[in-house]
Structures are given as structure tokens and as C-alpha cells.
């Protein structure tokens, strides 16, 4: 009577060949072959890079005495394939220099191993990143298939960016995989800014102009104040046309 025990088998191993005379006895020089379907591989095993287990065989000799237990251990490697991706978005719609944006980030584990100590960096963030959700077990690691959601408030939009019509930048994510090597990944975002050029003109009597006027030969002096009330820099020369000017 031969019994195999393997904790990795869903059900006990099944004999598939070897008992040539079907006497249910492992005769001298016979080799019996069994098979089983394993339980599911765990994430810990994938992170460790190996599925290890030991099988034992027990039997009773012809004299009725137990035969010494036989054991064998198998180590099946699991190749690490770390990968992650970063998505950066914003719902903000800046209109002029000095505006700030709220950026949102989604860091996804696309590989087969846990990623420890995930971290983001972004030169456009004025403050530290806020982890909004995703770390359901609270261990700080980015689990396989998991997504960590972050946000930050940006530094003020510059006039150069408004003039260019867009706020462009790139965020970077890093992390340490349980196995293998993982290069940093990036996520970029381009936020358009609609140009809105505008001018305001204020015509005033100059302080150097006479305070009273006696006849048609008097000359009036005017000051003109031109204000850029739009959101973009005006580079062309400003011209003023006034029918009252000589």
C-alpha cells in the first residue's frame, strides 16, 4: 500500500501508470507514475521567484512493517516580469499666468511582481503628493494589478507658458520590484491655454496741458494709457490713432 502526500496538490496524486499487473503493490523494479493538479500559485511565491514544495511517499512492506518515508523536493522557478505605467491628467483649465492646476496621477502595476516603495516626482508639483486611494491593505506596496491614485497642486503657470498656449510637463515614477529590474516610468500632460489678447485705452488730459483755453489757437496735451488686459504678451508695436491729434 503506497500513499503519496503533496500539499501542493488540489486532490491526492492519482496513479496513471506503472502497476503493470494491477495488484496494487509496488513490486521490485516497478516504477509508478502519479499526477496531480496543483493549488494556485500565490503572489508570495511569484515575488520569491520560485514555487517550492515537498512530496512524501509512505508504504507498508510485505512483512507488514512500515517502509521508511521517501521524500523529494521540487523548486519551480517563476520568472519576474516587473512593469508599471503612469497616467497624468488634470481637469483644470488655466487662463492666465499665476493660475494653479490640480494634477491627478494613476500608477498601475502591470507586471507579475509586487512593487515596493513606489514614489512619484514632478517638477510642476508645488507640494508633496497626496495618496488618495488604491493602497487597500495599507502596506505601501503597489500590488499586482493594483492602481495607486495621487494628486498634487501645481506651481503657478508662467507667462511663458501662457504665451506658448500650453503647460507641458512630465512626471516620473520609481519603485523597487520584488524580483527583476524596473526602470522608471513617465507620464506626461499637455494642458492647453486659450489665447485671449485684449487692450484697454485710456485718454486723459495731460497734467502739462493748460487749465483754461481762450481761443482756437490753444493747444491741448493728451496722455494715453494703454493696458494689456488680455492673457498673452503683445510683441508688435502699439499704435494710436486719434482724429484730434495734429
* CA 46 – CA 1 distance, rounded (Å): 36
Q: Which three cell numbers stand for residue 101?
A: 492646476
Contact at 8 Å (CB) between 54 and 36?
no
Is pTM, for the whole model, over 0.85?
A: no
Strand partners, 121: 172
Instruction: State the residue for C-alpha cell 492519482.
Output: 14
Q: Which three cell numbers stand for residue 153?
A: 497642486
Instruction: State the residue for C-alpha cell 496741458.
Output: 209
* CA 207 – CA 103 distance, rounded (Å): 51
Residue 114's pLDDT is 98
Q: Which three cell numbers stand for residue 169?
A: 510637463
Per-residue pLDDT tens listing for the chain (246 residues): 799 999 999 999 999 999 989 988 999 889 999 999 999 999 999 999 999 999 999 999 988 899 999 999 999 999 999 999 999 999 999 999 999 999 999 999 999 999 999 999 999 999 899 999 999 999 999 999 999 999 999 999 999 999 999 999 999 999 999 999 999 999 999 999 999 999 999 998 888 877 777 777 777 788 899 999 999 999 888 888 888 776
Instruction: State the residue for C-alpha cell 495734429.
Output: 246
Report phi then psi at 164, rounded to 5: -75, -15
Sheet holding 185-192, edge to edge: 115-121, 166-177, 185-192
186 burial type by CB count under 10 A (0-12 exposed, 13-18 middle, 19+ buried): middle
Task: Measure the CA angle with vertex 177, ends 174 and 181; round to 5°.
Answer: 85
Residue 110's pLDDT is 98
Q: Is 28 helix (H, G, I), strand (E, B) or coil?
A: coil
* CA 115 – CA 218 distance, rounded (Å): 84
Widest pairwise Cα distance in the chain: 144
Residue 207's pLDDT is 84
Length of the chain: 246
Amino acid at each position: 500500500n503506497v500513499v503519496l502526500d503533496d500539499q501542493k496538490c488540489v486532490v491526492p496524486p492519482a496513479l496513471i501508470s506503472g502497476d503493470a499487473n494491477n495488484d496494487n503493490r509496488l513490486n521490485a523494479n516497478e516504477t509508478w507514475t502519479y499526477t496531480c493538479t496543483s493549488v494556485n500559485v500565490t503572489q508570495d511565491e511569484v515575488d520569491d521567484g520560485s514555487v517550492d514544495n515537498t512530496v512524501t511517499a509512505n508504504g507498508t512492506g510485505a512483512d507488514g512493517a512500515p517502509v521508511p518515508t521517501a521524500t523529494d523536493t521540487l523548486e519551480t522557478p517563476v520568472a519576474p516580469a516587473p512593469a508599471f505605467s503612469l497616467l497624468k491628467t488634470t481637469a483644470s483649465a488655466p487662463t492666465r499666468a499665476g493660475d494653479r492646476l490640480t494634477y491627478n496621477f494613476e500608477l498601475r502595476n502591470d507586471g507579475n511582481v509586487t512593487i515596493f516603495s513606489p514614489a512619484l516626482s514632478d517638477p510642476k508639483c508645488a507640494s508633496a503628493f497626496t495618496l488618495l486611494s488604491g493602497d487597500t491593505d495599507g502596506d505601501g506596496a503597489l500590488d499586482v494589478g493594483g492602481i495607486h491614485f495621487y494628486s498634487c497642486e501645481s506651481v503657478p503657470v508662467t507667462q511663458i507658458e501662457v504665451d506658448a498656449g500650453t503647460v507641458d510637463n512630465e512626471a516620473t515614477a520609481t519603485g523597487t520590484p520584488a524580483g527583476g529590474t524596473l526602470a522608471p516610468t513617465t507620464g506626461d500632460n499637455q494642458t492647453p491655454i486659450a489665447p485671449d489678447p485684449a487692450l484697454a485705452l485710456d485718454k486723459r488730459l495731460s497734467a502739462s496741458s493748460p487749465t483754461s483755453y481762450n481761443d482756437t489757437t490753444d493747444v491741448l496735451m493728451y496722455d494715453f494709457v494703454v493696458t494689456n488686459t488680455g492673457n498673452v504678451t503683445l510683441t508688435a508695436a502699439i499704435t494710436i490713432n486719434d482724429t484730434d491729434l495734429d
